[in-house]
Chains A and B, each alone.
Chain A
């Protein structure tokens, strides 16, 4: 559950809204068609693969996670990763992972 106050949540929403908009508007709005340095474009391209695995790992095997190293969750995560790698399709990977989690979960109770 979230413990942050209503005001804190709204601050986060508004700050993220403005921040995300500024990121999107940046080059399109202000810089026009000027070229960006290659190294910067290269780094920007890696942001999702740099951030998201770091968000997921502690949820699955972190020492503070509520269900750390739970075999059922780990199997579902592995299946998601494998299906995602093989099919390159986000939706198939989600369906496969959740099917394992809820299907196998129901099976072993």
Chain B
């Protein structure tokens, strides 16, 4: 049965994404400012935000670049931050998999955290939505945010040329990462993964060019998955 006052799916997605603008705008500005102050030109800063559109990975690459890590290490580590999106892709595939290939190709481009999160909630609430409507909702939740990400980055890059570089703005990078991670620490497994990552990266700091971080991250992944499996087993035996 059609519910009364039902909005068009694209509009609904866009409206549902509104709260995330408060996060996306400062985050994009921050990336623009820090990347510019680190010495990147406007084309490079915008290249990052348009070709990659993934804040945490962009800041990770930026951080490793300022630490003079080799090119390959920068790429591999930053991509590791984005691996979670394979999970997003897998969990949206049953909903959007029937859409034409070119639409799925465009959907993949805007598959970042917020539209993924909003879509999974919406598709669970309204399982009878058609594939076309699901796709419209997804684009509504992703496209305006993506465009805002470009504009915010541009604003930050322009701002970064004007403000002095010794203000300590670079400290916003660890602060942002902590702020992104803290709300994710919602289970023992997540905490165990985070602690493993910290302890190992510090213990392996003798390893050259940030390779210690890769080892630490892989170990943390395994620890997280193992602890979660263990917790589930405990629960089942109760």
Contact = CB atoms under 8 A, between A and B. Distances in A.
B109 A23 contact: no
Name B's interface SS.
Answer: helix
Interface string A87-99: 1111101100110
Closest 9 CB pairs of A and B: A84-B182, A17-B51, A93-B179, A50-B220, A46-B224, A25-B108, A44-B87, A54-B201, A54-B197
Contact of B81 (A41, A47, A63, A90): A47
Contacts of B205: 58, 62-64
A61 B178 CA distance: 14
Contact of A61 (B97, B104, B168, B202): B202
Interface of B: 22-23, 26, 38-41, 44, 47-48, 51-54, 56-58, 60-61, 63, 65-66, 68, 71, 74-75, 77-94, 96-98, 101, 104-105, 107-109, 111, 168, 171-186, 189-190, 193-198, 200-202, 205, 213, 216-218, 220-222, 224-225, 228-229
A28 interface: yes
A15 to B, nearest CB: 5
Interface of A: 1-4, 6, 8-17, 19-21, 23-29, 31-34, 36, 39, 41-64, 67, 73, 76-77, 80-85, 87-91, 93-94, 97-98, 101-102, 105
Contact of B92 (A16, A28, A43, A73): A28
